[in-house]
Amino acid sequence: MSVTETNPNLNIENMEGLTGHDTEAAVEHEAKESHEITLFAEPVFHIGSFPVTNSLITSWVAVFFIILLSLVIRKKTKRIPSAFQSIVEIVVEGALDMMDLVTNDREKSKKAFPIVFTIFVFVLVNNWLGLVPGIGSVSFDGHHIFRGGTADLNTTLALGIFAVVGANIFGVMSVGLWEYFNKFINIKALLEIPKKVFKEPTIILVNPITFFVGLIEIISEVAKIASLSFRLFGNVFAGEVLLSSISAMVAWGVPLPFMFLEVIVGVIQALIFAVLTLVYFTIASTSHDSEHAHA
């Protein structure tokens, strides 16, 4: 395999006149110097035919940290709470109180809490890992070993799919399969037409529209995935590119305010993702008849 085949992006004009060992040295030097931030995650190694990307490695680090933290919290949980346990209880109680503002039901908040709070912590840890010195700059075999998990569209897309699919499963468990199915394909509205057409003639116009609106809800579910994933990816990736650009221009002092800003942005984006997930869970757990009655 030729040098240009292994590195198609290299500047061929700069290597004119070089042969043998000089060409190989030039290729190696340019490969190291010209590495740029890519929109896509880079594979670091393969497990069989499965590529392990740098963002996937960072996500594994985040999962390991969350598991370790949960084990520590469980081990330190006592009947008489310590200072650490008291802080954890304050955080959990505060999260439940915030969820109650959306659900208006503590029982529903408790049911959704494990998923919503875990998503919040996972997104937050990944957002902050992208700001740790070394993430995105440590390289191995010409590849960056680490990249912020939420700076990869694959990760945010998976989170969006998980949140929306989880909300739909939660809705089925809350209102029943038949009732939830009719939120999208409203067969009940069509079956009511021959029964009520003589008492309510307007049902001939209203119920077909209701059926059509249900079909639009299917499109909205797909839109939710795109909204969640692209919003998180765009904000996190743009922040990392901004920090890299500023650091390249001025390495000392100047990037610090922007890094502090990205810490706050990481919290806000994790909170937005978790709250939107909770909103989807709450909407899914509300029966179609209740929505119409409330309207």
User: Would you place residue 79 in the very low, low, confident or very high pLDDT band (cuts 50, 70, 90)?
Assistant: confident
User: Would you place residue 216 in the very low, low, confident or very high pLDDT band (cuts 50, 70, 90)?
Assistant: confident
212, 295, 230: which is closest to 269 by C-alpha? 230
- CA torsion 47-51-57-62 (nearest 10°) is -100
282: in domain = yes
12-26, 75-89, 138-152, 155-169: which has the highest mean pLDDT? 155-169
Looking at the structure of the chain, the number of domains it has is 1
233: in domain = yes
Query: pLDDT tens, 2-41?
Result: 434 444 444 444 444 444 444 444 444 444 444 455 666 7
27: in domain = no
10: in domain = no
214: in domain = yes
41: in domain = no
39: in domain = no
3-state secondary structure 109-133: HHHHHHHHHHHHHHHHHHHHHCCCC
What range does the domain containing 150 cover? Answer: 50-294
CA pair distance 118, 41, nearest whole angstrom: 24
Q: What is the pTM of this model?
A: 0.75
Which class for 123: exposed (0-12), middle (13-18), buried (19 or more C-beta within 10 A)? buried
The CA-atom distances, in angstroms, between 263 and each of 35, 122, 237, 270 are: 26, 15, 13, 11
3-state secondary structure 43-79: EEEEECCEEEEHHHHHHHHHHHHHHHHHHHHHHHCCC
147: in domain = yes
What is the per-residue pLDDT for 6? 43
